[in-house]
A and B are shown apart, each in its own frame.
Chain A
Amino acid sequence: MSTTLDAVHAPTAAAPAPSRVGQKITFAKAINLGLRRALEQDAKVLLMGEDIGKLGGVFRVTDGLQKDFGEDRVVDTPLAESGIVGTAIGLAMRGYRPVCEIQFDGFIFPAFDQITTQLAKMHYRSKGRLTLPVVIRVPFGGGIGAVEHHSESPEALFAHTAGLRVVSPSTPGEAYTMIQSAIASPDPVLFFEPKGRYWEKADVDLDGEPSLGLNKARVVRAGSDVTIVAYGPTVLTALKAAATAEAEGTSVEVVDLRSISPIDVDTVVESVRKTGRCVVVHEAPVAFGAGAEVAARVTEQCFFHLHAPVLRVGGFHAPYPVAKIEHDYLPSLDRVLDAVDRAIAY
């Protein structure tokens, strides 16, 4: 809890620890610095992707890294996503720790086979003889006015596959440490970066060590009436909803999942047993999404604590729409508040 975002939106929570070395940097820069630190600390770490070299990636997340670490460690690849992930698997077998950048969420599907059929299963297939410490960075989510295939949220497809870890940071500070944790993980990690937040600035403790790991959720705002569960881009929406609801007399607790596989069920359950109500918010379509998994777990473990059914707010069962109406598709502040109201009124 070391960021401005948290500090602003967590008025009633336990006071966040003040950052030791606070520096205002963007979300994109935080990942950049996390990658830089990993490249410095481990010669086996290498970055692979389209346009990540001289250009620094289309979002400039890898800006300047090829200049400092060379073309063998920051690799501009051919335009072939299956090729990127497939060769990363081979490099990992040879002892490297590749970090792949998929340029946009909607471009990950040519690599879907390699990710789900090979990357996810090699450790299992080899009975633990092979580990594949591969990170796949995916700028995901919408709200940036893009053309088709540039705003999707496919995380549930990967969380449904055993063998993969799926995480998403919600703040620059988290992005900085979580990317390092992901690279250190011996398991493959899908690292979903909320691209709509890339330009937001916050204080980041650049000397901070990853402490929470990849498995844990965190309560980013304490409350007593409703729990909002969110991750990645919707954590900020949830915090705004909590602030608005408080003005109307409703106390909202916000849980940032951080990880979609695994889901930290214990933290969610502890919160919902206290509040008795749960609203899950993600940009991905509600149907068969991560929210359905949260709802099932909460129902199984909090049944007699619930005052209302678990509600879900997210995208619709329609392809991601054109930019001019995308904000009607995305889980807006109003739709989250509507769900909070419905949970209270149930």
Chain B
Amino acid sequence: MSSTDPSTGGPLTDDGLVQLLTPEGERVSHPDYDARVAHLTADDLRGMYRDMVLVRRFDTESTSLQRQGELALFAQALGQEAAQIGSGRALAAQDHVFPSYREHGVAHTRGVDLTEVLRLFRGVDHGGWDPVANGFHLYTLVIGSHALHATGYAMGVQRDGRVGTGDPQRDTAVAVYFGDGATSQGDVSEALVFAAVNNAPLVFFCQNNQWAISEPTTRQTRVPLSHRGTGFGIPSVRVDGNDVLASYAVTAEALERARSGGGPTFIEAFTYRMGAHTTSDDPTRYRSAAEEEYWRRRDPIDRLAAHLRATGELSPEFEAQVSAEADALGERIRTAVRSMGRPEAVSMFEHVYATSHPTVDAERAWFEAYESSFLDSASEGSHR
């Protein structure tokens, strides 16, 4: 089965996708976007390849850890590496990203230690990393809510005078990542309204991975999702999300528009969730093996690898080096996750408020007295 049916013109069509690499890895020209990738060197492309391989290893390693009972849950980015690495690599240091919960690839490009991401899935933290230091906000689990946070943040960037100055170190863009399912949320529509009327320096990066848990994109829309942006008066583009070069190019253009004062852009990255929604999901109940096979032939890593091999820029030595790096990452992930201990129970009372709240203080005091009332509390720190 093919998920694409150009004859319908509906949400499944692949018409109008910006593409710079064919599924076979052949570099094709695009009049609007060739210039956006002209400066990329072979090293840059190899860097993209490396990033994608590492993030995929993170996915498979984390899934294994969940199966071993070390993680409560995990959500794979499998299949979406090109959309995430390509767009993430287009960001500048001062830009700020609002992810949903599957953006491990973007997290990696922002310098977030991927083991930190697993604190959430281990159940020892609701977040993990420093959202300010990395310019990468915490994962948002309520679908679409963060589109408004990104919009407000971008409105703040405007008020700070960090748009349209022409200084590349100063001008700042904001990017928000969400999926096809999120486009049905009211908050995403409201974010599009607020961003449009405020001309906010914001990139809406919608990864259309074809599935919102078990619901296909056809349950969210009758038209390509990029039309969502167009309807709000926001320049919109569809990109082959399994093409890392094209994903980089359209994002670079959108970020530049945002930073220069040109306002928001809506990007639909047409890709595929090759794995399950999470480790709790079972895709065999709602999609076919043929469909999965169709997309497996469009694997984003294979595509870039084929291109680099064809141009003689991917040596066996480099592949082996990346493979060893991935192995080392896997080892580091396993060690890090297993060392993430149970937080102190009393930590549940911390950071509820920024300033003292008598109800929290009283309940904490009671809890501590209760805990210490057990005879073994001194020796074990807890009665459990």
Contacts and interface: CB of A to CB of B under 8 A. Distances in A.
Contact of A118 (B125, B142, B156, B355): B142
Which of B160, B352, B354 is packed against the most chain A CB atoms within 10 Å? B354
Contact of B130 (A78, A117, A129): A129
Nearest to B174: A90
Given A90-B148, A94-B157, A94-B160, A82 B187 contact: yes
Contacts of A118: 140, 142, 145, 149
B156 A96 contact: yes
B127 A126 contact: yes
Interface stretch (A24-32, A139-147, A260-268): A260-268
Contacts of B353: 123, 163, 165, 187
B155 interface: yes
Given A118-B145, A186-B355, A80 B193 contact: yes
Interface in A114-166: 114, 117-118, 121, 123-131, 162-163, 165
Contact of B148 (A83, A98, A124, A128): A83
Interface string A177-203: 000000001110000000000000000
Interface in A284-330: none
A301 to B, nearest CB: 11
Contacts of B127: 125-127
A186 B355 CA distance: 7
Contacts of B341: none
Interface stretch (B279-287, B329-337, B357-365): B357-365
A82 B151 contact: no
A77 B194 contact: yes
Interface in B125-147: 125-127, 130-132, 137-138, 140, 142, 145, 147
Nearest to A121: B126
Interface residues of B, number: 42
B354 A83 contact: no
Contacts of A209: none
Residue from B131, B151, B190, B358 having most chain A Cβ neighbours under 10 A: B190
A124 B153 CA distance: 19
Contacts of A12: none
Question: Looking at A110, A127, A186, which has the most chain B CB atoms within 10 Å of its CB?
Answer: A127
A86 B159 contact: no
Given A162-B360, A262-B359, A86 B350 contact: no
Contacts of B351: 123-124, 126-128
Contacts of A127: 125-127, 350-351
Consensus secondary structure, chain B interface = helix
B149 A93 contact: yes
Interface string A46-85: 1000000000000000000000000010000110101101
B93 interface: no
A97 B157 CA distance: 14
A165 B360 CA distance: 12
B108 to A, nearest CB: 20
B194 A87 contact: yes
Contacts of B193: 78, 80, 83
B145 A90 contact: no
Nearest to A163: B352
A244 B221 CA distance: 64
Given A90-B151, A186-B354, A186-B355, A124 B156 contact: no
Contacts of A18: none
B216 interface: no
Nearest to A134: B152
A90 B352 contact: no
Given A90-B151, A95-B156, A113-B142, A78 B194 contact: yes
B150 interface: yes
> Which of A82, A215, A265 has its CB near the most chain B CB atoms (within 10 A)?
A82
B160 to A, nearest CB: 7
Contact of A93 (B147, B152, B356, B359): B152
B350 A80 contact: no
Given A78-B190, A130-B131, A187 B355 contact: yes
A89 interface: yes
Contact of B145 (A114, A124, A215): A114
A91 interface: yes
Give the contact-size bracket for chain A.
35 or more
A88 interface: yes
B157 to A, nearest CB: 7
A86 B130 contact: no
B197 interface: yes
A95 B132 CA distance: 11
A113 B152 contact: no
A110 B186 CA distance: 9
Given A125-B126, A163-B353, A87 B152 contact: yes
B355 A124 contact: no
A308 to B, nearest CB: 26
B350 A117 contact: no
A91 B153 contact: yes
Contacts of B147: 86
Interface in B191-227: 191, 193-194, 197
B131 A72 contact: no
B29 to A, nearest CB: 39
A197 B211 CA distance: 52
B359 A261 contact: yes
Contacts of B156: 90-91, 93-96
Contacts of B350: 127-128
Given A77-B194, A87-B155, A128-B350, A185 B148 contact: no
Contacts of A130: 131-132
B197 A78 contact: yes
13 contacts: A78-B193, A83-B193, A89-B148, A90-B152, A90-B154, A121-B126, A124-B351, A126-B127, A128-B351, A129-B131, A129-B132, A165-B353, A262-B358
Top 10 nearest A-B pairs (CB, nearest first) are A90-B152, A86-B148, A94-B156, A87-B152, A83-B190, A90-B153, A186-B354, A128-B351, A90-B149, A125-B126
Interface of A: 46, 72, 77-78, 80, 82-83, 85-96, 98, 110, 113-114, 117-118, 121, 123-131, 162-163, 165, 185-187, 215, 261-265
Given A114-B148, A124-B351, 20 more contacts: A72-B159, A80-B193, A82-B186, A86-B147, A87-B151, A87-B152, A88-B152, A90-B150, A91-B155, A93-B156, A118-B149, A126-B351, A127-B126, A129-B130, A130-B131, A163-B353, A215-B356, A215-B357, A262-B357, A262-B358
